[in-house]
A and B are shown apart, each in its own frame.
Chain A
Amino acid sequence: MDNLEKQLNNLPKKKLDMRADYLLRFKFYRAMWQKKVDMYVQYFSFKRHLPPLAAALVLISLIVGIPGYAYANENITAVHYLYGVKKTVEKVELALVFSEKEKQEKQEKLIVRRLNEAEILSQNTGSKKYNLALVETINEAMKLREELEEEIKAIKKQEVWSQNFADKNTSKNKEKEIKEIQTLTQIANTVGIKAEEEILDVVAETLEAVKKTQPNKEKKKNINNKPRFESQDITASSASLQNNDIKQTINTIQDEIKKLNDDLENNGYLRQDVKILNKHLEKKIKKAKDAIEKNNINAAKGIINTTEALTNNAKYFLKEKKNNNSKPEKSNKKK
């Protein structure tokens, strides 16, 4: 290395001033701390946790909201996918009740719910699915009603039923039964006489059953003034006796059907509808006769009960000739 290079290597070199050095280091450490703080803030930040929080909230609202929605919504009927959820919530509600009074109230509430659902379903009886759902819903309402009546009977037997409670309950029951009858008649009117036989049968039978339980009314007797067929069970010895009774009943029913047709036509109901009703009733009579011939007394009894129910409640299924607002005028015309 020559002199020049030595001189060049010895050119002055400065060191960074201490103040500037520490200031710069301070800036570095401040930036490092800021990074760490930002990291922790980001970890616990709302934004970072927003997706899982949102998902959790949605899930909770679904878990809490869907059953609540299903339970409260009257439009959720047997054809709806949330119907199962609704039924489950109702079961839970019933299970959580401990006093008899509250349990009865809940059961009555359920009966009303089923009938309301049936009313909604009756507006869509074009499809098989809805028809089936309607029949099932009304049957369920009937089943609930029978269970409730059984429980009330049992309580009465136990002498737990106080007179005071009985009086109050009777008047409340009356109101409820009137409401049930109103709902059922509305269903009958909506489905009409052209509905499927199964629907007609179940609605007519339910109406008949509710009317039967109304207080201060005589027990419903059959047309022959004989007691109605309370039980389907018959003993072998009384089979022939029952057989004769049934045949006689059928004959009487046929006469009454003729009378009913005249009355309905004269009372302003559509002739076409009356004809259809007539067809249904004749079909049932025929089935009853066939059942008797086959010695199937129980089946015959069942058919006759259904026939009577339809006969007694026929007017609710029929459409009037005139507008609904105006009452049908009684015609003097006689056959």
Chain B
Amino acid sequence: MAQDRIFIKKYKKYKDKIYNYFWYRVNFNEETAEDLCSEAFLRAFDKFDAFDREKKFQPWIYAIAKNCLLNYYRTLGREINLNFAENIKFEEKARIEAKIEIEKIIRLIHTFDEYSKEILLLKFIDQLTNSEIAQITKRNEGAVRTQISRALVILRKKLK
């Protein structure tokens, strides 16, 4: 069917983005990220009939991904902790891929509050625009821009 083909196209376009979305938020655990990615897209596939084609696919799939992540945290039985930066354990492979400098930045990002961290990751990892971030986080675009600026200022200070 036509809509199935459309979905497959969308999947090919966004699969890596969503995977990265999960990977940065589940302690860089590849298997967990794959599972969550799979879960998010299967959910999207089931609901694709009801999806309004007039709207953009990206915010929609990110919203589904966010819900899957929240469900994952709930099943783990832990609240979204602001201070688990110290507990981040890079997997060996990820460690090799990320240079030490970058690893430092990632750790610093995870020390931010949830909202700032989310915005920074969406901006620089997921490469979303301010308006798209505003749509996902359900905030004003101006507020998103302001928050990004503030977060960068704090990050620069911490890196110094």
Which residues of chain A have a CB within 8 Å of any CB of chain B?
4-5, 7-17, 20-21, 23-25, 27-28, 31-32, 35-36
Question: Could you say which residues of chain A place their CB within 8 Å of the CB of B102?
Answer: 7, 10-12
**A4 pairs with B20, CB closer than 8 A:** no
Contact for B16 among A8, A15, A23, A35, CB less than 8 A: A15
Q: Are A32 and B1 in contact (CB under 8 A)?
A: yes
B155 adjacent to A4 (CB under 8 Å)? yes
Contact of A28 among B16, B45, B97, B155 (CB under 8 A): B45
What are 28 A-B contacts with C-beta separation under 8 Å?
A4-B156, A4-B159, A5-B124, A7-B102, A8-B123, A10-B102, A11-B102, A11-B125, A12-B102, A13-B20, A14-B16, A14-B33, A14-B94, A14-B97, A15-B16, A16-B15, A16-B19, A20-B34, A24-B15, A24-B37, A24-B41, A27-B38, A27-B42, A28-B45, A31-B42, A31-B46, A35-B1, A36-B1
In the complex, the answer to whether A28 meets B19 with C-beta atoms within 8 Å is no
CB of B11 to closest CB in A, whole Å = 7
Residues in A with CB closer than 8 Å to B19 are 14-16
B105 sits at the interface (CB 8 A): yes
Among B8, B11, B101, the residue within 8 A (CB) of A7 is B101
Chain B contacts for A23, CB-based, 8 A:
38
A183 CA / B105 CA spacing, docked (Å): 114
Instruction: State whether A12 touches B98 (Cβ < 8 A).
Output: yes
Scoring A4, A11, A23 by chain B CB atoms within 10 A of each residue's CB, the highest score goes to: A11
Proximity bits, B96-135, A CB within 8 Å = 1, else 0: 0110011001100000000000001001110100000000
A24 to chain B, nearest CB (A): 5
Q: Known contacts A12-B102, A20-B38: does B15 contact A32 (CB below 8 Å)?
A: no
Q: Chain B, interface size: which category?
A: 35 or more
Nearest opposing residue in chain A for B155, CB measure: A4
Distance between Cα atoms of A248 and B42 in the complex (Å): 112
List residues of chain B with CB within 8 A of the CB of A16. Answer: 15-16, 19, 34, 37
Report the bound CA distance from A32 to B48 in whole Å. Answer: 12
User: Nearest A residue to B104 by beta-carbon distance?
Assistant: A7
Check if B15 sits within 8 Å of A11, measured CB to CB: no
Given the contacts A17-B30, A24-B41, A12 and B97 also touching, CB distance less than 8 Å:
yes
A11 touches B124 (CB 8 A): yes
Q: How far is the CA of A17 from the CA of B97 in the complex (A)?
A: 15
Give Cα distance in the complex from A16 to B125, angstroms: 15
A17 touches B34 (CB 8 A): yes
The interface residues of chain A lying within 8 Å CB-to-CB of B159 are 4
Residue of B nearest to A19 (CB): B34
Residue of A nearest to B121 (CB): A11
Given known A-B contacts A16-B16, A20-B34, A20-B38, A11 and B105 have beta carbons under 8 A apart: yes
What 5 pairs between A and B have smallest CB-CB spacing?
A: A8-B124, A20-B34, A16-B19, A12-B97, A32-B4
Q: Does the CB pair A11–B38 fall under 8 Å? A: no
CA A12 to CA B45, docked complex, whole Å: 28
Judging by beta carbons under 8 Å apart, are B155 and A31 in contact? Answer: no
B45/A20 in contact, CB under 8 A: no
Asked if B7 contacts A21 (CB within 8 A), the reply is no
**8 more A-B residue pairs beyond the given contacts A12-B98, A20-B37, A31-B46, with a C-beta to C-beta distance below 8 A:** A4-B155, A9-B127, A14-B97, A16-B19, A24-B42, A28-B4, A28-B7, A36-B1
Q: Which of B10-62 contact A (CB under 8 A)?
A: 11, 15-16, 19-20, 23, 30, 33-34, 37-38, 41-42, 45-46
In the complex, A91→B123 CA distance in Å? Answer: 91
> Which residues of B have CB within 8 Å of A7?
101-102, 105
Question: Is A14's CB under 8 angstroms from B23's CB?
Answer: yes
CB contacts (< 8 Å) of B156 on chain A: these are 4
Minimum distance in angstroms from B148 CB to a CB of chain A = 10
Q: Does B70 contact A (CB under 8 A)?
A: no
B152 at the interface (CB under 8 A from A): yes
Residues of B within 8 A of A9 (CB): 124, 127
